[in-house]
A and B are shown apart, each in its own frame.
Chain A
């Protein structure tokens, strides 16, 4: 392929126009999308965001090594150390059967007595374990909801933009209706309706977040398709007689989908936040399931004595804040890159 690029050896060309080498990634993504990708890793803030996200990915992947489960078949159950309701301080020893000792504990501390590093919360649930395995729950729910809302939104938005007219009008009014209720309230309601039917698990909240989460993507992809439809190269394709379906699937959607895709992948932070909010309110998983919202909700009965039991709020709180901040930092950079006024600048 290098032969297609004007050769740098030609001094005449080199002196008249600046030749920019086009790398493999840029060739693959196209100039517009390449600009988005490089824009994301340009500022210190967004790099910081990627580092934070990366840390959480590592924690999620290495969860069994960082905090070995008592029952490997059901690792999402936070191990309890007794049943008394009062939280116990950080670094207090396990009294009942402790989980297996993680490998790093002995190297760092030199002892082989496993402790509640971050204390226990109401009901003697281990806070550290809840946070570590909660990371997995966060990524799982985040990925499921994001992928599902993205697919639903893209399909509906594409249909709307492709057919136009009455179909478009109807679909957009349905979108309006779904957007009338505040997102969190609507999700709360649907999750509460579904819970008695499917039981306490991840699913009521996940289904609720999907049901009320797709509209944004539908709107964005619709707008992008509508604007790409008018571009010259689509006109060129029409002129040389390319079929309608192949114009849509080969020329329009691949070019329209990228910004939405990036936007969707950065929405994981928001999804996790909403999910945590629902389970904080007591909707969602069964008691003792490792998810951040629930670990935080244990603190609700201890508000008047938080000066003693601060660790049951502060640690899960910081975890959630860092997670959301990671996605927000990258998302901020993305907003700058996707800003239409920035288009065409490198």
Chain B
């Protein structure tokens, strides 16, 4: 177990190196002048000053030296400038603030959204999948099959636009955005404490059920848009994995020695059937971070995805690459966590 985790940890610096090199190479498409936005807030207009900045930040140096400076930054007048390892991703032209500030104000919103998109799928979706397998060709099974064919054919943005058309414009059930006016005023009051910076959880911790409900109501359409594909895939994968496990001999043995059917399914079969589902859950984390770009844009939800899409549409490359770095870091960490969990659950992984 320990050797497995150590081996897996050794992969982290390698992945970090790879991802930073990849992003750095994409930066190289920009001219030195454009790249100076990594270090200075305002790019001067006259040629002399530009040449000075290029020289000062070594933007004309060999590429490996530039890479190193990009990683650890420069010391100018005793002050460190740039350096992605210290969390300085440069200055965002479109948001007129450092990229890191933009990320730190936007990310809690995205996290809030993804938690609400993932948790119900993990809890209910897996249960539905197990039920579909146990009652094969029953109602849940058929419904899941039809839903997954239709669901996987709907592009996220088409689905989102149709949701907006139906529930926002025609039925007026769910509003877009983040909060109603009264609620956003209440959130700004000093009496409202931001413990986690995740709105729904803060609202609960402050005991403001009305704000919690308001936030959730605003998030319901984005949550559905972000997760409808996950529902389809989770139910399907759980179902087929469960069906396969139920056919195994140890399950027959369990039945033969007279265990209750409930115990056979939930204590013997399900844990084993969950292994492929865990792999899928890992892919979902990656997929969701990509999915928020479109979902948040369609619903105008102020998360990192919307910010990244806006910056990309306005060709603000420094900002977009900042988001890429941030996403890369998150994914490397979450992949690590998933792999370790995987080894905890499945002894075959840690022993191989």
B164 partner residues in chain A, CB cutoff 8 A: 303, 306
- Which of A66-74, A77-85, A238-246, A275-283 touches B? A275-283
A209 to B286, CA, bound (A): 17
Partner of A181, one of B149, B153, B331: B331
Report the stretch among B72-80, B179-187, B256-264, B306-314 that lies at the interface: B306-314
> Closest A-chain residue to B156, C-beta based?
A277
Chain B binding site: helix, strand, loop or mixed by DSSP? Answer: helix
Name the B residues within 8 Å of A195 (CB-CB): 315
Give the interface residue-count category, chain B.
Answer: 35 or more
Report chain B residues within 8 Å CB of A281.
293-294, 297, 309, 312-313
How many of A's residues come within 8 Å of B, CB to CB? 50
Residue numbers in A under 8 Å from B152 (CB-CB)? 328
For B170, the chain A residues whose CB sits under 8 A away are: 306-307
With a cutoff of 8 Å between Cβ atoms, the chain B residues found around residue A186 in the complex are 324
Which partner residue on chain A sits nearest B240 by CB separation?
A339
Cβ A181 vs Cβ B18 within 8 A: no
The CA of A194 and the CA of B298, in the complex, are separated in Å by 24
* Interface residue stretch chosen among A15-23, A109-117, A153-161, A316-324: A316-324
CA distance A74 to B113 in the complex (A): 43
Indicate whether A176 sits within 8 Å of B15 (C-beta atoms), given known contacts A303-B169, A328-B149. Answer: yes
Whether B290 sits at the interface, judged by CB under 8 Å, is yes
Find out whether the CB atom of A193 lies under 8 angstroms from the CB atom of B155.
Answer: no
Please determine whether B19 and A180 come into contact, CB atoms closer than 8 angstroms.
yes
Mask: chain A, 124-153; 1 = CB below 8 Å from B; 0 = not: 000000000000000000000000000000
Q: How far is the CA of A184 from the CA of B26 in the complex (A)?
A: 16
CB proximity of A138 to chain B, nearest CB, Å: 12
* Chain B residues with CB below 8 A from A193, complex form: 26-27, 29-30, 317, 320-321
Q: A180-B328, A282-B313, A325-B153 are in contact. Are A189 and B321 (CB under 8 A)?
A: yes
> How far apart sit A193 and B170, CA to CA, in the bound complex (Å)?
39
Chain B CB within 8 A of A310 CB: yes
Given the contacts A184-B293, A185-B293, A191 and B312 also touching, CB distance less than 8 Å? yes
Chain A contacts for B169, CB-based, 8 A: 303-307
In the assembled complex, B71 has its CB within 8 A of some CB on chain A: no
Which residue of chain B lies nearest to A341 when distances are taken between CB atoms in the complex?
A: B244
Query: Roughly how many angstroms separate A212 CA and B42 CA in the complex, as a whole number?
Result: 33
CA distance A282 to B298 in the complex (A): 12
Whether B332 sits at the interface, judged by CB under 8 Å, is yes
Q: Please determine whether B317 and A321 come into contact, CB atoms closer than 8 angstroms.
A: no
Contact A320 B165 (CB under 8 A): no
| Cβ-defined contact, A321 with B153, below 8 A | yes
**Chain B neighbourhood of A310, CB < 8 A:** 165
Contacts of A184 in B (CB 8 A): 290-291, 293-294
Cβ–Cβ contact B162 & A182, under 8 A: no
Residues of chain A touching chain B, judged by Cβ–Cβ distance below 8 Å, are 45, 173-174, 176-178, 180-186, 188-197, 273, 276-277, 280-283, 293, 296, 299-300, 303-307, 310, 313-314, 317, 320-321, 324-325, 328-329, 332
| Between-chain CB contacts (< 8 Å), 30 pairs | A45-B149, A173-B14, A177-B15, A178-B22, A180-B335, A181-B19, A181-B331, A182-B331, A185-B293, A185-B327, A189-B324, A192-B315, A192-B317, A195-B315, A280-B157, A282-B313, A296-B157, A303-B161, A303-B169, A306-B170, A307-B170, A313-B165, A317-B162, A321-B155, A324-B154, A324-B155, A325-B153, A328-B153, A329-B149, A332-B149
A-B complex: 10 closest residue pairs judged by Cβ atoms? A182-B290, A177-B18, A282-B313, A325-B153, A192-B312, A317-B158, A184-B290, A306-B165, A306-B169, A307-B169
